[in-house]
Amino acid sequence: MSNPSMEAKVKELMELKRMKEELEAEIAATEDEIKAVMGQEELLLAGSYKVSWKTFTSSRIDTTALKKALPDVAAAYTKQTTARRFAIN
């Protein structure tokens, strides 16, 4: 299918995606700056904002091991991971 009239729309979409990538990089850099100031602290009060960057633990099934084992023993292959959640309220 050919539709030359859609070229402008596709060009607009590509420009929006490029802008999105730039914004995502800027957002990540700004979050990293805030996290660097927070260090190991889990809570930062910044004027009317409360910034939290908390450690949490989640449990996930190790699918590689599960594929090698029987489904009824899947719980034996559950592993825990630890991460920190970043939120601004």
Could you tell me if 81 and 45 lie in one domain?
Answer: yes
Share of the chain above pLDDT 70, in %: 99
The count of domains in the chain is: 2
Range of the domain at 49: 40-89
Task: Looking at the structure, tell me whether residues 61 and 80 fall in a common domain.
Answer: yes
**Is there a single domain that holds both residue 26 and residue 8?**
yes
Are residue 33 and residue 57 in the same domain, yes or no? no
Mean pLDDT of the chain: 90
Encoding tokens for residue 15? 């420009």
Same-domain status, 10 and 24: yes
As a whole number of Å, the CA-based R_g of the chain is: 22
pLDDT in tens, 38-48: 999 999 999 99
DSSP 69: S
Query: Residue 77: its pLDDT value, please?
Result: 72
pLDDT of res. 61: 75
pLDDT of residue 86: 83
Cβ-contact 42, 55 below 8 angstroms: yes
Tokens of 27: 């957002």
| Chain segment 16-43, per-residue pLDDT in tens | 999 999 999 999 999 999 999 999 999 9
- Identify the pLDDT of residue 69: 80
First to last CA, the chain: 47
- Do 47 and 34 lie in one domain? The reply is no
Indicate if 54 and 26 belong to the same structural domain. no
25, 63: one domain: no
Distances (CA, A) of 32 to 43, 51, 79: 15, 13, 28
